[in-house]
Amino acid sequence: MNWVLLLEQTLNGFQFGILLFLLAAGLTLIFGIMDLINLAHGSLYMMGAYFAATFTQWTDSFLLGALLALPACMLFGIILETVALRTLYARSHLDQVLATFGLILFFNEFVRLIWGPIGLDIPLPEQLSGSVELFFGIRYPAFRLVIIVVGILTAFLLYLLVSKTKIGMLIRAGASNRQMVSALGVNINLLYTIVFGLGAALAGLAGLMAAPIMTVEIGMGEGILIITFVVIVIGGVGSIKGAFVAALIVGFIDTVGRSFLPDILGLFVSNDVADTAAPAISSMLIYILMALILAIKPQGLFPPKGA
């Protein structure tokens, strides 16, 4: 067993988990409060990456580009909510799946029309493109470390927002009983728009941070969207705490599984078999995990209260 590699992959898994959490937090809030299954959440992630790419080109600075992309994403989400999604809240899950699936088709084509079919690369600023020494001479890419730090900070801010502020109180109240909140005179439509904008900003943040380490391309939000759904289902739909725990578990298992499964399998079967079977099995690991968890706890690890 290679301990340095294990540590590195653990950090990578942690970093992936953080990205998943940023997506899952918005998605789970939107589901918990508006009862909306939003398949187009991955499109918000994609838009975050594309906005960041364009703004970085304009300003010649990734930091400025990222800072501009964030409000752009939020605005984009708010417009999307007001124009299209608002009418879907009262509809069945099937209708929501269908309509937001239609939105995915639209956004993918929209991006192809505006930015062209070829993927974009965002160059990293020099300070961030190197690696830093952690300890014992183990080096780790600086930008991935930034992702982890920004992610943890965001998670902390989100925690403060939800548990310590008035808006957060309304969000929690909305998640447990929507009718009551609106009956008490809260402008529930405004609350919905705010929550959606917040979710869009978080998804955009994940997208723009993922942009420099992956290619910015059409459909980049779909693969990660499905994994995000796995996360919120494992965590219990509507629970931010569940999303956090599940995102880290899924990120870790997916990343570490991919790099170590061939070795682990090699202990039990011949190397040839292990090498051919491992890629397929490691892609399946998180789905197996989800099936196991749902078979035991059909409502996820942290089921919403009152459900």
Stretch that binds another protein, among 128-136, 156-164, 250-258, 289-297 (CB under 8 A): 289-297
Residue with Cβ nearer another protein (140 or 222): 222
Binding mask 180-219 vs another protein (x if CB under 8 A, - otherwise)? ----------------------------------------
Report the amino acid identity of residue 27: L
Residue of 1, 3, 113, 135 that binds another protein (CB under 8 A): 113
Q: Does 130 bind another protein (CB under 8 A)?
A: no
Of the candidates 226, 253, 264, 301, which one interacts with another protein according to CB under 8 A?
Answer: 226
Q: Say which amino acid occupies 63.
A: L
Is 37 a binder of another protein (CB under 8 A)?
Answer: yes
| C-alpha–C-alpha distance, residues 30 and 36, integer Å | 6
**Residue 90 makes contact with another protein by CB under 8 A:** no
CA distance 199 to 206: 11
CB 131 within 8 A of CB 142: yes
- Residue selected from 72, 80, 195, 230 as contacting another protein according to rule CB under 8 A: 230
List, in sequence order, every residue forming a beta bridge with 132; answer none if it has no partner.
140
Distance, C-alpha 26 to centroid of its chain: 8
Spatial separation of the C-alpha atoms in residues 54 and 31, rounded to whole Å: 30
Task: Name which of 301, 243, 200, 225 is nearest 28 in CA terms.
Answer: 243
Candidate ranges 60-68, 108-116, 184-192, 251-259; the one touching another protein (CB under 8 A): 108-116
Nearer to another protein, 68 or 232 (CB): 232
Q: In 10 A of CB 11, how many CB atoms? A: 18
What number of CA atoms fall less than 13 Å from residue 173's CA on the CB side?
Answer: 17
| DSSP structural state of residue 216 | B
Q: Does 300 bind another protein (CB under 8 A)?
A: yes
* Contacts with another protein, residue ranges (CB under 8 A): 31, 37, 84, 87-88, 91, 93-95, 97-99, 101-110, 112-113, 222, 226, 229-230, 233, 237, 276-277, 279-281, 283-284, 287-288, 290-291, 294-295, 298-300
